[in-house]
Amino acid sequence: MLNIALVGNPNSGKTSLFNHLSHEKGHVGNYPGVTIDLKETFKEDFHFIDLPGIYSLYPYSEDEKITTSFLKEKPLDLVLNIIDGTSFQRGFYLSLELMELNLPLFIIIHMEDLLNSREKEDIEYILKANHLPYLFVSSKTKVGINQIEKSIKNYQYKKCQLPYFTTTFLTLSKEDRCKKRYTYIDSFPFEKKKIKTDLDAIFLHPFFAYPLFIGILVLIFYLTFGSLGPWLQDLLTKGLELLSSSIENSLIDIGIKESLIQLFIQGIFKGITSVFSFLPLVMLLFFFLSLLEDSGYLARMTYLMDKPLSYFSLNGRAFMPLLLGFGCSVPAIYATRNLLNQKSREKVIPLVFFISCSAKIVVFSSIVPLYFSPSWLMIFFLYLLSALFGLIILKFKKKDEEEFFLMEMPSYKLPILKNTYYLMKDKCKDFLKKVFIFVFLSSFLLYLFDHIKINEELSLLESVSKLFHFLFIPLGFTDWRISYALINGFFAKETIISSLDILIGLENIKGVLSPLSAFSFLLFVLLYTPCLSTCIVTYQEMGLKRKAFYLLIRQFLLAYLVSLIVYQGGLWLISFF
Amino acid sequence: MKLTELKKGQSAFIQEIKKNDEHAFRLLELGFVSNTKITLLRKSLFHGPMECLIRGYVFALRYQDASLIEVKLC
C-alpha cells in the first residue's frame, strides 16, 4: 500500500483531481468550496489523501494547520504536488519547501488547457533543472489524467540538491529564507500571463457592483421560492399524492387491517411526503450556491462584503461560511476553519445561527403562502431580518483589533456541470437521509403517541406536550400541537412541518394560528436554537465548550423574547382599532 | 511611495513591507518580495479593498494593509 498525499495551493484543483483518481470506487464527500479536512480514498494499491490547500508550510489559518501537521508527522511514500500552471511561481514556492523536507515529490501541472507553449517551456525548464518528475494535466480536457497512475507506479525518488539550501540557510530568519527561495525562483526566466479577470470591470465596478450583487441574490431567491421552485414542488406533490392513494388502495385490496393502513398512510407516509416535496427547492438553492462558487463570483462577493463586514470587525472571508449557511449550518460551521484564527471563527459561528438553512425553507414555504403574498418577498424579508439580528448582536460586542484580509481572486470560469452534479447528488443524499431517519422516526412515534389514549379525551402525546405548552401560550401559540411541533423541530427543523401536517393538516393551520400568531411563529422558527446536528458541531468547533452552551441557550431566549414582544405588542396595537 | 498611492493601472516595484508580523510574512510567502512588479488593478469606494496583479495572479488586499507596502514606480 502506497500512501500518497495531494498537496497544493488552495484552488489549484486538488479536489477535482482527487475526484478523478477516486472516481470508480472511492467515496468523495465534500462540502462546496474549500476542502477543510482530510479526505481519503483507497484504490488498488494506492491510498490517496486530499489535504486542505496551503500556500506554505507555515500555517496561517486553521485548515492550513491540518495539512502542515499531517505532512510533518505522517510517513508518506509520495507527495503529489499539484501546481496551478497559471500561477506557477507561487505553487513552486511550496514545492521548494517540500523539497527542503526531503519529501518524495511528483509535480502535477494542472490547468494545462490554459497554458501556451511558451509558458509550458518555461515551466519544464525549471522542473528539469531541479530533477523533478512532472506531468501536465487538465481536468477539463482530460489531458494527462490517465497517465497519473502509471507515473506513480514508475516513480523513483531522486534527491535534489537545492543550490541555496546550505547549512547557513537554516540559521536565517524565516523572512530571509522566504526571500532566498524567491530569489532562486526569479533566477529562472518566466513569462507571466495575466489571468482572466476582465469581468471584474463589471462585477467589481465602484457603483454598479453592489446593485448587481443584491440583484443576483434577489434573483436566486425569486427563482428558488417564487417561480421555478414552487412549480417543481407542485409537480412532485401531485405525483406523491397519486402514489399515496394508489398505495392506500392496493393495501386495502390485500386486506390489511384498517388501523395499520392509517398508521402507514396518515402517519409515516404523510410525514415523509410533506417534507420530501421540498427537495426541488433545496436542490435549487444548492445548485445556485455551487454556480456562484464555481464561476468565481463568490470570491468577488467576499471582496465586496469586506468593507461592510469590517464595521462588525469581521472581514470579507466571513461571507463564504455565512452564504453556505443558507444551505446547511453544519458545513457552514466547518467552513469557518478557512478563517484566520479561532477568535474570528468564534465571532462567525454564532452568526451562522442567524442564517436560515434549507431545512427552514420547508417551514417558511409551507406557512408563508397561507398568510402573505407574494410569499417569496416575505421569505426574503425574513432572511434579511434574521441576518440583521445577528449583526446587531455582533455590534454590541466590544470592538477588537482590525482583521487582516487577503484573498486570491480566481479567474472567471464557466461552471462544469459534472462538478455541480456531484455536489447536488451529495446534497440530495444528505436531504433524503435526514428525511428518512428523522422525519420517518418522528412521524412514526408521533402518530403512535397521538393514538395511544390515556383516557377517552386525552392522548399520551397531548398530556406530555401540555407539560411545556404553557411556555408557548404568551407567544400566541394557543394550540398545544404547535408547541409540540416546535419542540420536535429541535431535532431537525423539517419535522416541524411533518408533525403539523400529521397532527393538524397543513390546510387547517389557518384555523389554529391567527395572522399575528403565524408571524410570531415564523419569527420563532427563524431565530430559535438550531437543530441537534448543528448543536453538536458547534460544541465540537468552539474552543470553550461552556461558550457553546451559552450561545445555544442565548439563541432560544432571543427567539422567545422577539416572538413575545411581537405577539404581545401586536395584540396591544390591534386593541386600538 | 505607498502601494495605495498608485493610480488604477499603474505598475511599480515592491521595495519593502513596513511591518514585521505574521500577516507581512504571509505576503512575502505569496511573492510580495522586493523588486517584484506589482500592478494596481482596481480600487473600491470608501477605502475598501483593492485588487492587484502580482506574478500573474490577482490578490485583493485591504487598504490599510496595502498602505504598508512601499513601492517605486517603474
A433-456 pLDDT, tens digit each: 877 787 788 778 877 777 777 777
Please tell me whether residue A271 adopts helix, strand or coil conformation.
Answer: helix
Is A52 a domain residue? yes
The residue that leads in pLDDT, A178 or A430, is: A178
How high is the pLDDT of residue A520?
92
Quick one: cell of A473?
Answer: 401560550
Q: How far apart are CA B55 and CA B27, in angstroms?
A: 13
Indicate the pLDDT class of residue A31, thresholds 50, 70 and 90. very low
Indicate the pLDDT class of residue A27, thresholds 50, 70 and 90. very low
> How confident is the model over A508-521, as a mean pLDDT?
88
- For A66, the domain range is 2-186
**CA-closest candidate to residue A320, choices A330, A337, A335:** A335
Determine contact, residues A359/A494, Cβ cutoff 8 Å.
Answer: yes
Is A307 a domain residue? yes
Please enumerate residues of B whose Cβ is less than 8 A from a Cβ of A: 20, 22-23, 25-31, 33-36, 41-49, 51, 53, 55-62, 64-65
How high is the pLDDT of residue A562?
92
Distance from CA of B23 to the nearest CA of A (A): 7
Determine contact, residues A533/A330, Cβ cutoff 8 Å.
Answer: yes
Q: A133 with A48, same domain?
A: yes
Residues of A in contact with B46 (CB under 8 A): 307
Residues of B in contact with A204 (CB under 8 A): 42, 44, 51
Distance from CA of A95 to the nearest CA of B (A): 12
The residue that leads in pLDDT, B50 or A317, is: B50
Residue A33 has pLDDT above 50, yes or no: no
Distance from CA of B33 to the nearest CA of A (A): 6
Residue A565 has pLDDT above 90, yes or no: yes
* Mutation for testing the B interface, residue in A96, A409, A411, A412 having most B CBs under 10 Å: A409
How high is the pLDDT of residue A402?
62
How high is the pLDDT of residue A393?
83
**Could you please report the per-residue DSSP string of A197-224?**
-TTHHHHT-TTTHHHHHHHHHHHHHIII
CB contact under 8 A, A200 and B42: yes
Looking at the partner chain, which of A88, A178, A310 has a beta carbon nearest the beta carbon of B28?
Answer: A178
- For B14, the domain range is 3-73
Indicate the number of domains in chain B. 1
Q: How far apart are CA A169 and CA A307, in angstroms?
A: 40
**CATH number, domain at A45?**
3.40.50.300
How high is the pLDDT of residue A560?
92
**CATH number, domain at B60?**
2.30.30.90
How high is the pLDDT of residue A401?
63
Residues of A in contact with B65 (CB under 8 A): 404-406
**CA-closest candidate to residue A182, choices A107, A89, A313, A54:** A89
Report the chain A residue with the minimal C-alpha distance to residue B62: A405
Burial of A252 (C-beta count, 10 Å sphere; 0-12/13-18/19+): exposed
Give the angle A466-A467-A471 at the CA atoms, nearest 5°: 85
Please tell me whether residue A136 adopts helix, strand or coil conformation.
Answer: strand
CB contact under 8 A, A194 and B29: no
Indicate the number of domains in chain A. 2
Distance from CA of A307 to the nearest CA of B (A): 5
Q: A264 with A394, same domain?
A: yes
Question: What H or E segment, with its residue span, contains residue A88?
Answer: helix A88-100
Residues of A in contact with B27 (CB under 8 A): 406
This model of the complex carries an ipTM of 0.91
Residue A114 has pLDDT above 90, yes or no: no
Residue A305 has pLDDT above 50, yes or no: yes
Q: A259 with A380, same domain?
A: yes
Residue A58 has pLDDT above 80, yes or no: yes
Identify any residues that bridge with A41 across adjacent strands, giving them in sequence order: A48
Residue A298 has pLDDT above 80, yes or no: yes
Residues of B in contact with A186 (CB under 8 A): 35-36
The residue that leads in pLDDT, A530 or A341, is: A530
Question: What H or E segment, with its residue span, contains residue A122?
Answer: helix A117-129
> How confident is the model over A185-190, as a mean pLDDT?
85
Report the chain B residue with the minimal C-alpha distance to residue A308: B48
> How confident is the model over A82-92, as a mean pLDDT?
88
Task: Give the dihedral sign, CA A537/A543/A545/A547.
Answer: negative
Looking at the partner chain, which of A88, A186, A407 has a beta carbon nearest the beta carbon of B60?
Answer: A407
Share of chain A above pLDDT 70, in %: 95
The residue that leads in pLDDT, A427 or A380, is: A380
Residue A564 has pLDDT above 90, yes or no: yes
Q: A287 with A148, same domain?
A: no
Please tell me whether residue A492 adopts helix, strand or coil conformation.
Answer: coil
Is A204 a domain residue? no
The count of other CB atoms within 10 Å of the CB of residue A235 is 12
The residue that leads in pLDDT, A155 or B70, is: B70
* Distances A238 to A269, A362, A448 between C-alpha atoms, Å: 14, 17, 27
Q: A161 with A271, same domain?
A: no
Is A253 a domain residue? yes
> Which of A169, A186, A203 is where one domain is finished?
A186
Residue A129 has pLDDT above 90, yes or no: no
How high is the pLDDT of residue A29?
33
Pairing relation of β-strands A134-136 and B50-54? unpaired
Q: A221 with A129, same domain?
A: no
Q: A236 with A177, same domain?
A: no
Q: Quick check: A87 contacting B, CB < 8 Å?
A: yes
How high is the pLDDT of residue A30?
32
* Angle subtended by helix axes A545-574 and A342-352, to nearest 10: 30
CB contact under 8 A, B41 and A405: no
Task: Give the dihedral sign, CA A426/A427/A429/A433.
Answer: positive
Q: How far apart are CA B52 and CA B61, in angstroms?
A: 8
